[in-house]
Structure 1
Amino acid sequence: MQPKSGNRYDITIKDLFADETQELINYFGHLKARVTGDLKIEFPQVETRVSDLVMKAESQQGPLAIHLEFQSRNDDEMPYRMLRYALEIHKTYHLPVYQIVIYFGQWQMNMTSQLEYRLGDQNLLDYRYHLIDVGNITYEELKNSPHQRLLSLLPVVDREKRQKSGKEFLQRCAEDIISSDLDLETKKTVLLRAEIFAGLVFDKKAIDLVFREVEQMLSIEESAGYQRIFEKGMEKGIEKGMEKGIEKGQQESLLDVTIRLLSKKFRKIPREYMARIKKQDVYVLQQIIDNIFDINDLKELEDYLQ
């Protein structure tokens, strides 16, 4: 298996689970709550992005907002981001906020789920949120759960076992989804999602070997789930393991803006950085543009470049 540049998947995961928020809360949450609607929230003052999924829900404690954040790489800034999100959601809707970060990364999670300090009796901070490493969930635990629509996560569970078994592990994932009690149309959607998640932790060759035959057998390309994901803006090369980029014209336009902004800020861009910038895809270029005011040294580009 090969490590993947996971951050490009974070946006995708939001779309994949847009219709499964109740399932995610039931499986990952530590409270009983019923989703009653979506909440729209942006962070123009503190973030350049939109939070992943924010819903209004009813629980035994009363109405609340539930914030699901999806993460495919470790991020030391996560507690600060989550606190800013919580404050903005609470400020906007005046609801208590229950937050869950779901980490799908290839490597062991090393993020923290809290911020705390105390300075005397009047100045203190004790902030926490629910942080889950999907790789620590056992295969059998997810397979045997009543939340069968979440079987799409099988390729990223049980980190030690999947790293040891490789392609055989992925083959079992596909077989167990096919033999599940889900109806045929749902199986197609779940298998498509499973293939996308597999791209986070398995190499392209293994994914092709396992899923090409499955796609042909079940005619996944004709499924409603397949069409829905395309309509959400997924890359057109998904049948090739999501390896193709977005159209060349958009890439060239973003590349021009990226180079002009970096040149204006740092005056001169070393040749080696220029060569690497020109090789980046649309997502990475957009991230550099969005975070240009936070990049204070050219060496910080290493956090973005692939």
Structure 2
Amino acid sequence: MYDNVCKFLAESFSQDFAQWLLGTPIDLTQLSPSELSVAPIRADALILLASEQMILHLEFQTQPDAEIPFRMIDYRLRAYRRYPNKQVRQVVIYLKPTRSELVHQTVFAIPGTRHEFEVIRLWEVPQENLMQFPGLLPLAILSRTADKMRTLREVAQRIERLSIRTEQSNVAAATSVLAGLVLEKEMIRQVLKEETMKDSVIYQDIVEQGIQQGIQQGIQQGIQQGAQAGEATLVVRLLKRQIGLANDALEARIRELSVQQLEDLGEALLEFTQPEDLVNWLEHHQNSSLVES
């Protein structure tokens, strides 16, 4: 959930993230993991942004993950295979404070091979570094600040000054979700206005009706349905790119799959070359489910 919100921000405000991480507001567009033949697809944490000269690989993590170093070198090699002339900048962004040593790992090393990547622990980043750009405002509540509530109020004030209604709504909704990592729901509701968030895709797709009963409660109630719907939308999008999926009946079958089945399909589709591959996969897995039941 939290990782996916960060992924949405990076995609929607790529220039802000480029200015923060690269030092220049270059135009970046989203690069599908399927273009690197990467498996498995981790829609909840990964985003690849690309320009003509470089690829910015971001991984958002709420919890420490021992697999991060291997994933970094894996993506780096796959990116090199597909785009040998592009620079690659890899950054792992940890959201929630922890004492785990895993969040300090910046190297993958085995005999004869060493690969380095960057790590940002948001709770160590000065608040002011994140308050300069709209797309980074939701991250400020997780930054190095002594008074989280005061920071949330400052963020809310800056959100109110945003001139584009859609941008204002999306930033407010993202802030409400991420603030749930460090603040109680009642505190968040005191500062962020529900009316401001209603037009946000985050509000509509993830929180849905549950947000009317409280931000955190709504997230917990809608997380399973929201995760399935989000995963299904991503898989359908990747299938359209991979094999030109244009069959409404097949798309409907895909949207009925469980989260685990969607994750399995997300990995398998990288090998698809024609729509028949999808049909065969669906029939095989439906038959397998019947046998198991």
TM-score by length of 1: 0.61
Q: Which residue of 206, 220, 224 maps to 1:243?
A: 220
Residue 40 (structure 1) shift: 1.6
Q: Which residue of 46, 63, 66 maps to 1:52?
A: 46
Could you tell me how far apart the structure 1 residues matched to 2:54 and 2:81 are?
A: 13
Q: Is the 8 A contact 2:140 2:155 kept in 1?
A: yes
Q: Is the 8 A contact 1:46 1:84 kept in 2?
A: no
Q: Are the structure 2 counterparts of residues 173 and 64 from structure 1 closer, same or farther at C-alpha, using a change threshold of 3 Å? A: closer
Deviation per residue, 1:69-99 (Å, 9 max, x gap)? 2122222221111111112222233333221
Q: Which residue of 35, 40, 47 maps to 2:32?
A: 40
Residue 27 (structure 1) shift: 0.6
Q: Is the 8 A contact 2:173 2:202 kept in 1?
A: no
Q: What's the counterpart of residue 136 of structure 2?
A: 150
Aligned residue type for 2:182: V
Confirm whether residue 79 of structure 1 aligns to residue 69 of structure 2.
yes
Q: Are the structure 2 counterparts of residues 108 and 244 from structure 1 closer, same or farther at C-alpha, using a change threshold of 3 Å? A: same
Kindly report which structure 2 residues correspond to 1:40-119, keeping only aligned pairs within 5 A, or say none.
Answer: 40-42=32-34, 46-50=39-43, 52-58=46-52, 63-94=53-84, 95-107=86-98, 110=101, 111=103, 112-116=105-109
Which one is further off, 92-101 or 103-112?
Answer: 103-112
* Runs of at least 5 residues in structure 2 that lack an aligned partner in the other structure: 229-257, 268-293
Q: Are the structure 2 counterparts of residues 244 and 181 from structure 1 closer, same or farther at C-alpha, using a change threshold of 3 Å? A: closer
Q: Secondary structure of 1:201's partner?
A: coil
Could you tell me how far apart the structure 1 residues matched to 2:28 and 2:114 are?
A: 29
Residue 208 (structure 1) shift: 2.5
Could you tell me how far apart the structure 2 residues matched to 1:36 and 1:203 are?
A: 35
Confirm whether residue 129 of structure 1 aligns to residue 117 of structure 2.
yes
Confirm whether residue 190 of structure 1 aligns to residue 171 of structure 2.
yes
Aligned length: 227
Residue 285 (structure 1) shift: 10
Q: Are the structure 2 counterparts of residues 45 and 28 from structure 1 closer, same or farther at C-alpha, using a change threshold of 3 Å? A: closer
Deviation per residue, 1:134-182 (Å, 9 max, x gap)? 2112223333x3x2332222211115x1xxx35444334323433x465
Q: Is the 8 A contact 2:11 2:30 kept in 1?
A: no
Q: Is the 8 A contact 2:15 2:28 kept in 1?
A: no
Q: Secondary structure of 1:66's partner?
A: strand
Residue 32 (structure 1) shift: 4.3
Could you tell me how far apart the structure 2 residues matched to 1:105 and 1:18 are?
A: 21
Could you tell me how far apart the structure 2 residues matched to 1:10 and 1:49 are?
A: 10
Aligned residue type for 1:88: R
Aligned residue type for 2:29: G
Could you tell me how far apart the structure 2 residues matched to 1:172 and 1:66 are?
A: 29
Could you tell me how far apart the structure 2 residues matched to 1:139 and 1:284 are?
A: 37
Q: Which residue of 214, 224, 234 maps to 2:206?
A: 234
Residue 24 (structure 1) shift: 0.5
Q: Is the 8 A contact 1:106 1:201 kept in 2?
A: no
**RMSD, matched Cα:** 3.6
Aligned residue type for 1:47: P
Identical aligned residues as a percent: 22
Q: What's the counterpart of residue 206 of structure 1?
A: 187
* Runs of at least 5 residues in structure 1 that lack an aligned partner in the other structure: 1-7, 251-281, 292-306
Larger helix share, 1 or 2: 2
Aligned residue type for 2:32: K
Could you tell me how far apart the structure 1 residues matched to 2:148 and 2:143 are?
A: 12
Q: What's the counterpart of residue 231 of structure 2?
A: none
Q: Are the structure 2 counterparts of residues 45 and 197 from structure 1 closer, same or farther at C-alpha, using a change threshold of 3 Å? A: closer
Residue 287 (structure 1) shift: 8.1
Q: What's the counterpart of residue 11 of structure 2?
A: 18
Kindly report which structure 2 residues correspond to 1:268-287, keeping only aligned pairs within 5 A, or say none.
Answer: none
Q: Are the structure 2 counterparts of residues 109 and 32 from structure 1 closer, same or farther at C-alpha, using a change threshold of 3 Å? A: farther
Q: Are the structure 2 counterparts of residues 108 and 176 from structure 1 closer, same or farther at C-alpha, using a change threshold of 3 Å? A: farther
Residue 115 (structure 1) shift: 2.2
Q: Are the structure 2 counterparts of residues 9 and 64 from structure 1 closer, same or farther at C-alpha, using a change threshold of 3 Å? A: same
